[in-house]
A and B are shown apart, each in its own frame.
Chain A
Amino acid sequence: MADDRTLADILRSQGISRRGFLKFCATTASMMALSPAMVPKIAEALESAKRPSVIWLSFQECTGCTESLTRSHAPTIEKLIFDVISLDHHHTLMAASGHAVDEAMHEAMEANYGKYLLIVDGSIPVGNPAYSVIGGVSNLDQLKEVAKGAAAIVSVGTCSAYGGLPYAHPNPTGAASVSDIIKDKPIINVPGCPPIPVVITGVLAQFLTFGKLPEMDELGRPMAFYGQNIHDRCYRRPFYERGQFAETFDDEGARKGWCLFKLGCKGPVTYNACATTKWNEGTSWPVEAGHGCLGCSQPNFWDMGGFYNALSTPTIDLTKTAAVGLAAGAAVGLAAGALNRSKKSKAAREHETVTVKDLEKGEKS
């Protein structure tokens, strides 16, 4: 339950010195992608921040988002943040407690009505709500009920932010995102499959520090973490500029760490903090490990035309579209022809050295 102690009180009660607190603030500022000059202001705000009540609901998800957080090595900033918040309800972590968990959730909702933070992972089946039911309550009904008393909602993971994997074609459950359903609450999206742990806690830290949700982009993501393009921040970017690409995962280019664009890297269209924040306490990230970015923080990333297809590969079957055009009549045929030309010229304009044929054959153009 929420109590009156401030974050500084809690850290002090754990024997953490003021110097340790400043270190915490310096690393928190770094985590939030804020200027180091902001450290004194963060310290001031966090010192007086109260312990908020947090309710975490899990719907159509794989638990990867929770794993991302809880598998972090302690004691990390993530753990500290979670020591500070009052996690009054977590569907998955508390599942073994059965109905007692639901009671605890309703108590927390009542005690903190209008003030608690709601975190959601997983998408919500609206096509047929019976596809996902917890304790006899559909995800849809539970989301609506808990969202009513929330101060703000954090959609953690691409599933709750944009539908994610359940939303992938043909979306058998009619999966929807939180923002598709809830329209009258501040919602922030923290997408990723899963999101970087410090990005999840960074948003919580920002909420604690500033008492409101941070600045967001047009997709509802915090600018501090999603404001920059993976490709622009990628250390392999110079190879892209020089036209040096790995053509296969075991060729000379791959061994030399050249650009992974031709192997399907979605970095040029993906916004996330992986390139600088990295994973596993800053150890590495997919591109550094030799695999292209999957674009997991973008809407519909499962349907972006294949993880190993270059972005310049057309995502629709042009031959089939053209055939349908011919069968349906000259007018439609002309439209398909125009679509083909448009797609091809776009691909040629953007990436002149790459063709579908080259990629299929693994030949360098």
Chain B
Amino acid sequence: MNGNASSCGQAAGSDDLITGNVNPILNEIRHALKKLLEEGESTIIDLRALPLGPGEELQLESLLGIGEVTANIDAMGPSTVNETLFAGVWLVTHRNTEDAILGKFIEITRYPSILESQAADMRSALKALPGLLTENS
């Protein structure tokens, strides 16, 4: 589980080059997961809002690991949704079409809402399907 911790620490360039914010975030995740189980309330942590030193974000991602589910979304650029090794803890990364990261979030939830099909899109799909049927008949 945490076998990668030391190697990721090196990614920062120095063992000293850390803010010490990785463990507090892991604690926040622990509390949020408990809340999800007991009260059903989801939590989203915006990694952009936290000061992390070079390599620390990588360290955090490495510690959380990649679990059973990975989904790719193509909407205004690619987004990736990974369930981490910890069930209920997801890493959501949004990128633009030039692959630059727009935002990175840790979501503690049953599944991130970005995966859900949206009503507006489903209505458009419903309108488009008769045309497909006509073409194919």
Contacts and interface: CB of A to CB of B under 8 A. Distances in A.
Contacts of B118: 17-19, 22
Contact of A27 (B45, B94, B113, B120): B94
Query: For the complex, would chain A's binding face be called helix, strand, loop or mixed by DSSP majority?
Result: helix
Given A16-B76, A234-B51, A256-B14, A22 B102 contact: no
Q: How extensive is the interface on chain B, given as a class?
A: 35 or more
B51 A281 contact: no
A185 B17 CA distance: 46
A257 B20 contact: no
B103 interface: yes
A26 B16 contact: no
A233 B52 CA distance: 9
A26 to B, nearest CB: 6
A193 interface: no
Interface residues of A, number: 38
Interface in A235-249: 235-239, 244
Given A18-B121, A26-B103, A36-B44, A238 B20 contact: yes
B121 A19 contact: yes
B101 interface: yes
Given A26-B114, A30-B48, A256-B14, A20 B100 contact: no
Interface in A5-19: 16-19
Interface in B67-112: 73, 75-77, 79, 94, 96-98, 100-103, 105
Contacts of A244: 16
Contact of B100 (A275, A277, A281): A281
A135 interface: no
B36 to A, nearest CB: 14
A9 B98 CA distance: 24
Contacts of A288: 54
A23 interface: yes
Contacts of A239: 16
Interface in A85-117: none
21 contacts: A18-B118, A19-B114, A22-B113, A22-B118, A23-B76, A23-B102, A30-B48, A35-B46, A36-B46, A37-B44, A73-B96, A73-B100, A75-B77, A75-B96, A235-B51, A238-B18, A256-B13, A257-B16, A257-B17, A257-B53, A288-B54
Across the A-B interface, give the 7 residue pairs with the lowest CB-CB distance, nearest first.
A36-B44, A18-B118, A20-B75, A235-B53, A281-B100, A18-B120, A20-B76
Given A17-B75, A18-B120, 11 more contacts: A17-B120, A20-B76, A22-B114, A23-B94, A26-B103, A30-B105, A33-B49, A36-B105, A75-B76, A77-B102, A236-B53
